[in-house]
């Protein structure tokens, strides 16, 4: 028997029966629940986010340290504030040309789904051209290019798919083992049917043109350029556990207590984010604090020393990072178990409903 | 130390010490002088004023801190600092190790404008050669050596990372013998001859067991050997920075990032296992306080990246390493002492032959 409060709809006097049935149900559900493998899957999600964020970081680094063909990194996740499908980064040559980039840390075997998604985002970006001009740049865009960046072992797959579907995206690949970035040009297995010419040489030339940058100096400057990790670590649309790293990075230690003020988090976010408005930064910080409390990673501290305490016995950042990941995994697992509890409740209530109908005979 | 009132430059100050060591060191247990070299930038004097009682003696600043002695009593610890060169300060003291640990160390550990001067392993070898060739009769009474594959080949199990401490009157011969046999090079040496006894180590500390002109001469001679490389290192660390530049190409003010990153070139290919033990080493060290988060690591040809915090100073930077080199990308409050100490940690724990330079994007492509 499980000590659970039956819902109000359970007829009076039936509470014990309810508890018995519910107990059986939930016991069975929990026994069947593959907790260990779910936990591993969740840890995998954290890794996927990390690889994705680092891929963005590697992709934009040359445009933070230098300015290949005049382009600079402007912002991460342009258009995220509108809640529309958006790209991961925006580059601009401070004149009339922009590049929207999407980072894909892995490409599924059905690369077509990725290309479709890219096409959709491209349309959204084109639809918001004026918005970008007015809100982000303050000047007109007369040239747009679209990039998909991936790790080296997925480069061929996506580049081929793009070229064969006739989509116009330029593929960048990052090799994290040698910290280099370059433009991947794949030869298609078949020509797309939207090419102008019938002459194979001209067709190949057309494809090369289509899948490299219009500004030739950009192609040469990005040819095996050394890159590095270290920029763009505030991504408002990534999963919460990845975003909460910011809290770990902003923490300070007061008398062996890891703690943080709103101001610390705000400072970190505004230092790390480029071209986000103060209001947006404030919203991002609010979300972080709320989520932190939700996961029981942050709690209000009734002490003058800081506004929030980090709920952990550790003080070192690496330990706190691990604690955060564990808390998030626990929270997600608990969420899954809640769903099982709800399912049991619904089923038992339905049983009671049937019984009462039988009683009427 | 008991120093007569007066105006001194560094050389004159040292002369006062070795001219009358008895009165200068009266009442001190150790009867020895310790000299520490610090890299500095403009704010260092203000920093001293904030943390100590200071007094100007011409070109020398006396600074006094407090420490708790073994009997639990509070005691004053006296230090003197003078400029050896622009951006390179020499601290002289006769205080005990305990006084130094409590009253001097914390200063540089948390300062954004002072860091202990590291001596690159290779420069240390040069210093050793100078001493041995200038003084035929110089004995080595004690030394500590560690395995640095880039500086010495080992006959015995060359792949073993090892440290050897040796005490004995025949140290000079053993130093070479261990080097050939075990591939170790010295990181701390005690020299002795009839009226000189002096100890040097890679963290920029020099101990003069014999307080006389000859010992001071050796000290200054050795410094002149290493100073060029050390100041070059400071120059590199000072140029590693991250800024947001505000531009207005249209009718909006926007920020563009300007990163100037550093690079530590390894002398031999670094493996994942070495990178991992380096992280452990920095965590377990008494005076370093680096934490590594957001770590990605894969073996094979090394893929390693992480965010590094110098917990003592609150500096943040990111590192991304291949087996050949490690990029250092500054993030927040990235002051030169954090970078110098990080580099020192690399040469002490990962690769004794590693070199830090500014990353040059022009030559990379």
Q: Which pLDDT value is given to residue A328? A: 97
Write the residue in A65, A274, A316 that is nearest to B244 by C-beta: A274
Q: How far is A87 from chain B (nearest CA, A)?
A: 19
**CB spacing of B251 vs A224 below 8 angstroms:** no
pTM of the model: 0.88
Two structure tokens written together for A317: 């950042």
Average pLDDT on A261-272 reads 93
Distance, CA of A297 to CA of A329 (rounded, Å): 12
DSSP state for residue A317 in the 8-state scheme: H
DSSP state for residue B58 in the 8-state scheme: B
Q: Which residues of B215-251 are buried (b: 16+ CB within 10 A; e: fewer)?
A: bbebbeebbebbbebbbebbebbbebebeeeeeebbe
User: In the predicted model, what is the mean pLDDT of chain A?
Assistant: 90
- Judged by CB atoms within 8 Å, which residues 220-249 of B form the interface with A? 244, 247-249
Q: What is the per-residue pLDDT across B182-224, written as a single tens digit (0 to 9) for each?
A: 999 888 999 998 889 999 988 788 999 999 999 999 999 989 9
Distance, CA of B329 to CA of B307 (rounded, Å): 9
Residue A197 has pLDDT above 80, yes or no: no
User: In the predicted model, what is the mean pLDDT of chain B?
Assistant: 90
Confidence of residue A113 (pLDDT cuts 50, 70, 90): very high
* Contact (CB, 8 A) for A94 and A72: yes
Q: What is the per-residue pLDDT across B243-295, written as a single tens digit (0 to 9) for each?
A: 999 999 999 999 999 999 999 999 888 999 889 989 988 888 877 889 999 99
Q: Which pLDDT value is given to residue B162? A: 85
Confidence of residue A200 (pLDDT cuts 50, 70, 90): confident
For tokens 């990072």, the residue is A321
Q: What is the per-residue pLDDT across B28-81, written as a single tens digit (0 to 9) for each?
A: 887 899 999 999 998 899 999 999 999 999 999 999 999 998 888 999 999 999
Q: Give chain A positions within 8 Å (CB) of B294.
A: 50, 233, 245, 321
Among the listed residues A251, A325, A336, A257, the one whose alpha carbon sits nearest the alpha carbon of residue A295: A325
Residue A360 has pLDDT above 70, yes or no: no
Average pLDDT on B18-27 reads 88
User: Reduced to 3 states, what is the DSSP secondary structure of residue B325?
Assistant: strand
Q: How far is B115 from chain A (nearest CA, A)?
A: 22
CA distances from B317 to A299, A354, B284, B293, B313 (A): 28, 64, 20, 11, 12
Q: Which pLDDT value is given to residue B364? A: 42
Residue A317 has pLDDT above 90, yes or no: yes
Q: Which pLDDT value is given to residue A356? A: 62
Q: Which pLDDT value is given to residue B365? A: 37
* Contact (CB, 8 A) for B189 and B200: yes
Q: What is the per-residue pLDDT across A320-335, written as a single tens digit (0 to 9) for each?
A: 999 999 999 999 999 9
| Closest residue, chain A, to B271 (C-alpha) | A177
User: Reduced to 3 states, what is the DSSP secondary structure of residue B208?
Assistant: strand
Which of the two residues, A231 and A256, has the higher pLDDT score?
A256
Distance, CA of A115 to CA of A223 (rounded, Å): 24
Q: Which pLDDT value is given to residue B363? A: 44
Is any Cβ of chain B less than 8 angstroms from the Cβ of A256?
A: no
Query: DSSP letters of A161-195?
Result: HHHHHT---EEEEEETTTTEEEE-----SS--TT-
Residues 6+ apart with CB under 8 A from A111: A157, A158, A160, A161
Which of the two residues, A207 and B156, has the higher pLDDT score?
B156
Element (H, E) at B198: strand B196-201
Q: What is the per-residue pLDDT across A287-301, written as a single tens digit (0 to 9) for each?
A: 999 999 999 999 999
CA distances from B76 to A41, B1, B52, B81 (A): 59, 11, 11, 16
Residue A13 has pLDDT above 90, yes or no: no
Is any Cβ of chain B less than 8 angstroms from the Cβ of A321?
A: yes
Q: How far is B230 from chain A (nearest CA, A)?
A: 26
Q: Which pLDDT value is given to residue B361? A: 58
**End-to-end CA, chain B:** 56
Q: Which pLDDT value is given to residue A325? A: 97
Q: Give chain B positions within 8 Å (CB) of A48.
A: none
Among the listed residues B276, B267, B273, the one whose alpha carbon sits nearest the alpha carbon of residue B120: B267
Write the residue in B251, B259, B317 that is nearest to A64 by C-beta: B259
Q: What is the per-residue pLDDT across A48-90, written as a single tens digit (0 to 9) for each?
A: 999 999 999 999 999 999 999 999 999 999 999 999 999 999 9
Q: Which pLDDT value is given to residue B134? A: 85
User: Reduced to 3 states, what is the DSSP secondary structure of residue A76?
Assistant: strand
């Amino acid at each position: 028997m499980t000590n659970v409060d039956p819902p109000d709809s359970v007829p009076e006097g039936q509470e014990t029966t309810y508890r018995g049935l519910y107990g059986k149900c939930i016991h069975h559900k929990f026994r069947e629940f593959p907790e260990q493998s779910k936990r591993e899957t969740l840890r995998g999600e954290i890794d996927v986010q990390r690889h994705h964020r680092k891929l963005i970081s590697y992709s934009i680094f040359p445009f933070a340290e230098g300015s290949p063909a005049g382009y600079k990194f402007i912002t991460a996740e342009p258009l995220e504030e509108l809640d529309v499908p958006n790209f991961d980064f925006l580059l601009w040559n401070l004149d009339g040309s922009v590049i929207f980039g999407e980072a894909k840390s892995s490409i599924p075997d059905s690369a077509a789904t990725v290309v479709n998604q890219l096409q959709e985002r491209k349309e959204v970006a084109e639809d918001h051209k004026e918005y970008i001009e007015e809100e982000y740049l303050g000047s007109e865009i007369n040239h747009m290019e679209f990039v998909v960046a991936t790790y080296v072992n997925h480069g061929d797959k996506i580049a081929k798919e793009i070229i064969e579907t006739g989509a116009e995206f330029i593929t960048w690949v990052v090799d994290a083992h040698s910290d280099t970035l370059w433009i991947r040009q794949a030869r298609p297995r078949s020509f797309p049917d939207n090419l102008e010419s019938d002459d194979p040489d001209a067709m190949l030339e057309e494809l090369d043109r289509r899948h490299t940058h219009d500004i030739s100096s950009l192609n040469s400057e990005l040819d095996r350029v050394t890159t590095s990790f270290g920029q763009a670590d505030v991504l408002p649309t990534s999963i919460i556990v990845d975003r909460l790293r910011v809290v770990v990075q902003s923490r300070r230690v007061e008398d062996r207590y890891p703690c943080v003020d709103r101001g610390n988090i705000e400072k970190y976010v505004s230092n790390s984010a480029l071209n986000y408005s103060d209001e947006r930064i404030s919203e991002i910080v609010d979300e972080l604090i709320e989520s932190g409390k939700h996961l029981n990673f942050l709690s209000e501290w009734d002490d003058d020393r800081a506004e929030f305490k980090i709920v952990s016995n550790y003080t070192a950042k690496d330990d706190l990072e691990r604690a955060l990941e564990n808390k998030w995994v626990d929270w997600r697992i608990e969420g899954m178990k809640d769903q099982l509890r709800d399912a049991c409740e619904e089923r038992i209530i339905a049983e009671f409903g049937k019984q009462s109908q039988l009683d009427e005979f | 130390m008991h120093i007569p009132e007066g105006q001194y430059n560094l050389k004159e100050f040292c002369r006062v010490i070795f001219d009358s060591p008895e009165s200068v060191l009266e009442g001190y247990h150790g009867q020895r002088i310790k000299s520490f070299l610090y890299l500095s930038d403009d704010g260092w004097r203000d920093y001293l004023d904030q943390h100590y009682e200071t007094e100007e003696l011409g070109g020398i600043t006396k600074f006094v801190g407090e420490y708790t002695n073994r009997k639990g009593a509070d005691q004053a610890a006296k230090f003197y600092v003078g400029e050896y060169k622009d951006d390179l300060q020499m601290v002289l003291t006769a205080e005990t190790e305990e006084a130094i640990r409590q009253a001097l160390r914390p200063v540089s550990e948390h300062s954004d404008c002072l860091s202990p001067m590291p001596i690159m392993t290779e420069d240390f070898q040069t210093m050793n050669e100078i001493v041995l060739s200038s003084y035929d009769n110089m004995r080595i009474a004690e030394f500590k050596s560690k395995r640095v594959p880039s500086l010495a080949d080992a006959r015995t199990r060359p792949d073993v990372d090892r440290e050897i401490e040796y005490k004995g009157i025949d140290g000079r011969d053993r130093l070479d013998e261990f080097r050939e046999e075990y591939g170790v090079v010295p990181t701390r040496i005690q020299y002795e001859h009839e009226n000189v006894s002096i100890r040097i180590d890679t963290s920029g500390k020099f101990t003069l067991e014999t307080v006389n002109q000859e010992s001071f001469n050796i000290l200054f001679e050795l410094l002149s050997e290493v100073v060029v490389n050390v100041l070059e290192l400071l120059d590199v660390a000072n140029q590693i920075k991250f800024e947001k530049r505000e531009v207005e190409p249209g009718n909006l003010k926007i920020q563009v990032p300007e990163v100037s990153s550093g690079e530590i070139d390894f002398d031999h290919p670094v493996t994942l296992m070495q990178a991992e033990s380096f992280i452990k080493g920095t965590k377990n060290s008494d005076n370093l306080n680096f934490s590594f988060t957001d770590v990605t690591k894969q073996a094979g040809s090394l893929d390693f990246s992480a965010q590094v915090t110098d917990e003592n100073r609150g500096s943040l930077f990111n590192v991304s390493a291949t087996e050949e080199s490690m990029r250092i990308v500054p993030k927040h409050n990235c002051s030169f002492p954090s970078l110098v100490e990080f580099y020192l940690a690399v040469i002490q724990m990962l690769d004794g032959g590693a070199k830090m330079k500014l990353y040059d994007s022009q030559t990379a492509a």
